Amino acid sequence: MAGAASLHARATIVQPRAIAEPKLVRWTLIGTTLAFLSLFLFVPLAAVFYEALRKGLSAYLHSFTDPAALAAIKLTLLAAGIAVPVNLVFGLAASWAIAKFQFRGKHLLITLIDLPFAVSPVVSGMIYVLLYGANGYLGPWLIAHNVQIIFALPGIVLATVFVTFPFVAREVIPLMQSQGTQEEQAAMTLGASGWQTFWRVTLPGVKWAMLYGVILSNARAMGEFGAVSVVSGHIRGKTNTMPLHVEILYNEYNFVAAFAVASLLALLALATLGLKTLVEWRSAVALAQAEANPVVQEKAS
Amino acid sequence: MSIEVQHISKTFGSFVALDDVNLTVPTGQLVALLGPSGSGKTTLLRVIAGLEQATPAPGIDSGIRFHDEDVSHTPVRHRKVGFVFQHYALFRHMNVFENGAFGLRVARPRSRKLQIQERVHQLLALIQLEGLAHRYPSQLSGGQRQRVALARALAVQPKVLLLDEPFGALDAQVRQELRRWLRRLHDQLHVTSVFVTHDQDEALEVADRVVVMNRGRVEQVGTPDEVFHHPATEFVMHFLGQVNQFHGRVEEGRVRFGNLELPFPQYAHNQDGAARVFIRPHDVTIDTKTNGLPSIQATIERIHSAGAVVRLEMRTDAGQLLFAEISQERFATMHLTYGGTVFVRPRHIRVFTDDYDNCTRSAPLSI
């Protein structure tokens, strides 16, 4: 009953005239926003699918039978499949250290985690070439031991890991900090080991934030162009990821195939948005709960 | 299981939280650590639990013993303490049952489902929350959360039970109720328990023994009666209830304060010394006329008559504020008014004097 009543109340709230803008201003603002969104978001998205399906569904589907396209899809999945779990482990470890412990250099670590956001992806790709390339610092040693990193899968994975590593940590740290360490202390007094405490108490507490970070980092891993472009070498069917493959096809004036692969990336983006909204909602609930039971900093009393 | 604390110190940077604390908690007792915030009571509790490590003091035989067994170096998870946190620290993603079962599950991951169920339901019955086994902590009231936290701590059959401000976050009525409930529960279980509180009523009402702490040191240990009626230090006198304080002198068996001079045989020296004289508000008699007995003249500034006793705020001729409590019956017969003059006659006073060795002596005096 109470729920229904409040819902009803919310539905009948009318914005008071005193703080409302004149009609003309309102419609101008709304119109501008809609025009902007259409021009930069909806039309391009529709154009991708329009171009991809321009010569019919069979031409669209035929684009995916190309071995080079299949190889690009596989490589993208593989690179993301390695980079995302690596960053999940790193992100959780870093968040745990930052949120639950006090140590020297903590602020430096937080700054370093944000570094990939600040550095141009091309630059980060270049650094890996400089380090592991044939003419790089470690190049001669790697060649002598027959290890290829640049222009091969390891380089692509390295570049992807670099550009995606802030995502999980950035999502998990604030939640862990707001949850504090009381539950962990309680678990320890109840006889739990550090490992048991982590699996049974810490991790379940942050699972939604963690999943949100994974989704974001997966989207970025699959869509990354700049850093991967530098280290991949664009070997068709071998070191081309999906975004790189799209570029090559486009440069070859093979528009249907280019937009067909691009449409896959666009679909991925839409799926990510959907998942993100769902998880965002769940993690907002978790955060609200954490804040509803605030942790008072332990004082020596 | 007794607890023995020997020469424990703890510093946080330059802040001394515990300063050479010694304490014995006898088996089966319920002991209150009472003190203002910053007195070190929570730190002491956490050191006993093993959540905090004492600052090592070289050359001193320091340590924590549970029943003669040194646990100073035992990690918290092997100490078998039940710890109830001030803000409950319930596992928010587990329901009441899972919270209660946690300690049993981590201790023996392979233990039988039925055994765990039986034990947890037994505990939920004990805390009278059987119907709420499937609720999550966010769906419980403060008092219910507190009881769940207690059940969770008891599930692992701890040797000692430690409670940090167990009623601190609850409103007055629930506090009262839970206090009595905790006392009954302790009488049922007899597990050695220590709880931290800054509320003297709580400590005096619930505990077998009260440990009054101040600035990282133990000021006095005793039964509620002892600490209330025979405070060992001026701090304890101040902390346990309201008190009027006078500065006076002692000399040759007499004490002088305000305009009063009373016999004080405890101090026989002929050299006079400083004295602090304390009078509890309920240890005075108020008269509207002087009857020759030693009394302090004062003017009434405030009357609080809404309560079990009537509280008076008065000011002496020397300008000092004076508090008194009289019964409603006596108040009804007296016709006291604001600005009226009264004579305040102390019945019991407590005098603290500094000895030659700078030791503070306290002595009671009945008039």
pLDDT digits (tens, 9 = 90+) for A237-276: 888 999 999 999 999 998 888 999 999 999 988 888 888 8
pLDDT at residue A296, as a whole number: 40
pLDDT digits (tens, 9 = 90+) for B251-298: 888 888 888 888 888 777 777 888 889 999 999 999 888 877 888 899
In angstroms, what separates the C-alpha of A164 from chain B's closest C-alpha?
A: 29
Across the interface, do B92 and A298 touch by the CB < 8 Å criterion?
A: no
pLDDT digits (tens, 9 = 90+) for B128-142: 888 899 899 988 998
pLDDT digits (tens, 9 = 90+) for B43-60: 999 999 999 999 988 878
CB atoms near residue B231 (< 10 Å)? 25
pLDDT digits (tens, 9 = 90+) for A89-118: 999 999 999 998 888 999 999 999 999 988
pLDDT at residue A3, as a whole number: 40
Q: What is the DSSP letter of A67?
A: H
H/E element, B261: strand B260-263
Across the interface, do B77 and A290 touch by the CB < 8 Å criterion?
A: no
Give the rounded percent of residues in chain B with a pLDDT score beyond 90: 53
Reading phi first (left if > 0) and then psi (alpha if -120 to 50, else beta), residue B361 is in beta
Decide: A79 and A216 in contact? Cβ < 8 Å: no
Across the interface, do A191 and B103 touch by the CB < 8 Å criterion?
A: yes
Across the interface, do B93 and A186 touch by the CB < 8 Å criterion?
A: no
Q: A296 in contact with B at a CB cutoff of 8 Å?
A: yes
Angle at A206 between CA A203 and CA A211, to 5 degrees: 100
Q: B217 vs B50, B64, B220, B221, CA distance in Å?
A: 19, 16, 9, 11
pLDDT digits (tens, 9 = 90+) for A113-161: 999 988 898 998 998 898 888 888 888 888 888 888 888 899 999 999 9
In angstroms, what separates the C-alpha of B127 from chain A's closest C-alpha?
A: 18
pLDDT at residue A22, as a whole number: 85
Q: How far from chain centre, in Å, is Cα B13?
A: 27
Chain B residues in contact with A193 by the CB 8 A cut-off are: 77, 106
Across the interface, do B38 and A296 touch by the CB < 8 Å criterion?
A: no
Across the interface, do B93 and A293 touch by the CB < 8 Å criterion?
A: no
CA distance B257 to B262: 9
Residue of A nearest to B136 (CA): A289
pLDDT at residue A4, as a whole number: 41
CB atoms near residue A215 (< 10 Å)? 23
Arithmetic mean of pLDDT, B239-261 = 87
| Chain B residues with a Cβ under 8 Å from any Cβ in chain A | 10, 12, 15, 17, 37-43, 49, 51, 76-83, 85-87, 89-93, 102-103, 106-107, 137-138, 149, 152-153, 155-156, 198
Report the complex ipTM. Answer: 0.84
Q: Can you give the C-alpha Rg of chain B in angstroms? A: 25
Residue A249: CA count within 13 A, CB half-sphere: 24
Nearest to B121 by CA among B108, B130, B112, B109: B130
